[in-house]
Structure 1
Amino acid sequence: MTIDVSAERVIPLPPEQVARYAMDWRHDPDWTQGIRTAELTRETDAGGFGVGAEVTRTAYFLGRRIDYVMRVAACHYPRLLDMVSVAGPMPMHVTYAFDPHPDGTLARIRVRGAGGGFHRLAAPLLARQVRSSIGKDLRDLERRLTE
């Protein structure tokens, strides 16, 4: 069974301001549910963060520690950051999008994944938890940027 969940929120700031913070991996632990650490473990061929770079994250989800590596598949600042897991407990694809909105920025997160074994059996619970988590991520992102 696959998971495909998304959440969106209008943040009352311009897309460039929202994206500058949200697309910077160093801020991941500050606004992303469960992430305790994030480290740039592979830079792009030209150096720095962008397509091909990898960020290693340590998170806690449903009480379990999860270490995984996300590779940047697409990066179109300030509109889109698309990442795929290259190491971790299950294949995952996470897309962050920031579009202009009359009231600021329409921020969206979409998480897709497929797993076998435990993850297949737990897919309905996992989908609910992920949807709740990414909704909270967007709420926390707004709080971080507007306080």
Structure 2
Amino acid sequence: MKLSAREDASQLASIDDRIMPLINIVFLLLIFFLVAGVIREVEPVDVDPPRSMVEGESEVAPLTIYVSADGHFALGDDVLTDDAFNVAVTEAVLTDPEQAIRIVADRNVDSTKVITVLETLRSAGASRVKLTTQMQAAP
């Protein structure tokens, strides 16, 4: 049984009428999640900072140093070896010794790694260094 061209067109129009609301809903959901989603900076190494009860705003620093739990260093978005890290930090600090420097260290990192970073910054002449922590919920 062959359908006429007019019946084919009416069936296609019927299918379009049923799909159009679904397409609208999908686009509205897409826009909702784009607007409602939290966009945050992706850290070059996996870091979970220690918790703190102190309230305070963390200012955006032009130079951010990351220290992962396994002792890897990152300067900005670049993961570096120990020697390359020391050279890069020294060069970055020498360009502007008064710039704010933020250290984001994992809570499980060996403290000697953080001390090494602080000593490198001190020897390079850095004067404004801040250690980043996460706000802990009140007990």
TM bracket, shorter-chain basis? under 0.3
When the two structures are superposed, what TM-score results if normalisation uses the length of structure 1?
0.24
Counting strand residues as a fraction of each chain, which structure ranks higher? Answer: 1
Provide the TM-score with structure 2 as the length reference.
0.24
CA radius of gyration, larger in: 2
Higher RCO (CA 8 Å, separation ≥ 6 residues): 1
